[in-house]
A and B are shown apart, each in its own frame.
Chain A
Amino acid sequence: MTDLELKTKSIQYRKKLLACIKRAGAGHTGGDLSCLDILNVLYNRILNVSPETFDDPGRDRYIQSKGHSVEALYVVLADKGFFPESDLETLCRYGSPYVGHPTRKIRGIEQNTGALGHGLAFGVGVALAAKMDNAAYRVYTLLGDGELAEGSNWESMMAAAHYRLDNLIAIIDRNTLQITGPTEDVCGLEPLGQKLEAFGWSVVAVDGHDVAALGRVFGGPPLEVGKPSAVIARTIKGKGVSFMENDPKWHHHVPDDEQYEQAQRELDTLLAEITS
């Protein structure tokens, strides 16, 4: 897929995502929008996984530790054909398998997440298994930045470095906001890159909305042989909709009718600009 096609998808995904959240009356809008370009690049350019190969032991793994951004994942998986897009009409409805955090009931989802600080340990286990089996697949885990306050992540960081898991890539959605406000006000993370390096990881920072740059970084690992890779993706919470960007209110806010129409108009304009 070309960069332009990826950029087009990013906007189309955002439109579908907002429709999904609006219909369900629920969703983690801000974080969905900050990680959507990462998911787009992973599923459309990097990951060796498809509905047909999802049961293949050699498939690449994507584990979404920041489980609350599940709507973004659902939208991308539907687009990749893991399930019909119309299924998402049942999101969060009584009896629907499409619950508000990732669940293995949905084909394409590797692990149930949602409580924070769980995905990286799971990824360490999968990456260890790959090393034991001399398998070539890679394990990508997406973490929120606020999530890094969970101490379990740092246990997993230590273990990943100890076992030299250079088949493991942790992507940090560094949008700098969590539900209460800026991460640096809530419980400071910086200097994040230095912390990760001190834990034995190879670290790179990238514009988390630049699909070409993301493609290069995700396709490159290991950044260093014998070390796990950390990608600090600098993102904007609420990216793509002017009034949602960088406002913690949109952590899990659902747009009203007027806001929804405006958001869709803004995205249509962006779409027209890049396709013209």
Chain B
Amino acid sequence: MSVEAGRELGRANLEVFSETLLSLARRDRNVIAVTSDSRGSGKLASFAAAVPDQLVEVGIAEQNLVGVVAGLASAGKIVFAVSPASFLTARALEQIKNDVCYSDRPVKLIGISAGVSYGALGSTHHSTHDLAALRALDNIAIIVPADNFEAAEAIKTAAGMSHPVYIRFGKRPLYHLHGPAARFEPGKALLVRDGADVAFIATGETVHPALMAAEQLQNEGLSCRAVSMHTVKPLDVDAIVSAATDCRVLVTVEEHSIFGGLGEACAAVLMQAGIRVPFKIVGFPDEYMVTGSQLEIFDHYGICAKGLAQTARALLAADAREGGTHRFRQRRATQS
């Protein structure tokens, strides 16, 4: 944990992705990027200039894109399919399901400009469904990096993975969250700060607002934990269970619909572990999305320091009213 977490602004994860991919591609000519007219938005112009034979452009055709990358992977290529998350995971969902997951092709699907990164361009361009859609598919890991360190590590790790993986990136420069001692491992959440009153379990670009909320609450005398759940599948069950048992209330935060994403995944873990804790899923509700920039949309739906602190305070107040009696924490001895 770094005391400076969230204080120093880094670069957009997309830029880190592009740079990391280029370094991998220079070392191994089997590393291939495939784009759907997305080299600009994927920050791959320098990649295309440096290793032109390792970039395949298929045009605006996401279904073909995913089928092609499955074919390339079957012939030994280490393939990164780079396409806007919205189109990649909705237009080509059947190709992801069959050509990649069911056929077990070790493709790396890179959803760019993910979540509400496209801001005021509107819902056609938002991917607020992708975690839910892909979580229901067998045989795919889902990684949502929260800062430049997590992004670079996710890409390097993905290159060596022998099964499918989906990694999602936004466009905005992100604050550094981790110190030099941090170690990235898929499926193992990273603790950004520790505490015992409020736990925020967040993923991707919502980890920083959660950290800011934690610091705001800290100033009010509350002890707050912030966890970066960078791997949404497979989940770090231990990190969720310990957050729910160590802290008084638990808030999950995601740049995604409240349906089928990180929050519901955490709820399922806790329910099945027999743990009850005051709990709130923060994400996008079931409504026509407000128009605005990514940060304006975040603010509108309470994915900001102020909104998340308020959500935590409300949970704490309800908990206090009931004297904590509605908390039920029991880990069954037989629990696997």
Q: Point out residues on A near B: beta carbons under 8 Å.
A: 57, 104, 110-115, 117-118, 120-130, 132-133, 151-152, 155-156, 158-159, 162-163
Contacts and interface: CB of A to CB of B under 8 A. Distances in A.
Contacts of A57: 75-76
Q: Which 6 A-B pairs have the closest CB atoms?
A: A125-B71, A121-B67, A129-B75, A155-B64, A155-B61, A125-B68
Interface string B62-105: 01101111111111110000000000000000110011001110
B65 to A, nearest CB: 8
Given A122-B70, A124-B68, 13 more contacts: A110-B74, A121-B63, A121-B66, A122-B68, A122-B71, A124-B71, A125-B71, A127-B71, A128-B56, A129-B75, A151-B63, A159-B61, A163-B56
B63 to A, nearest CB: 4
A152 B64 contact: yes
Contacts of A133: 75
A120 B99 CA distance: 11
26 contacts: A57-B75, A110-B74, A111-B71, A114-B98, A118-B67, A118-B94, A121-B95, A123-B71, A124-B68, A125-B72, A125-B73, A125-B75, A126-B72, A128-B72, A129-B75, A129-B76, A152-B63, A152-B67, A155-B58, A155-B63, A156-B67, A158-B59, A158-B61, A159-B61, A162-B59, A163-B56
Interface of A is mostly: helix
A122 B67 contact: yes
B286 interface: no
Nearest to A163: B56
Taking residues whose C-beta sits less than 8 angstroms from the other chain, chain B's interface range is 20 to 34
A117 B95 CA distance: 9
A122 B99 contact: yes
B59 A111 contact: no
B274 to A, nearest CB: 33
B107 to A, nearest CB: 10
Contact of B64 (A111, A127, A132, A156): A156
Contacts of A159: 58-59, 61, 64, 68
Contact of B102 (A112, A123, A127, A163): A112
A106 B79 CA distance: 25
B322 interface: no
Nearest to B94: A115
A124 B64 contact: yes
Contacts of A151: 63
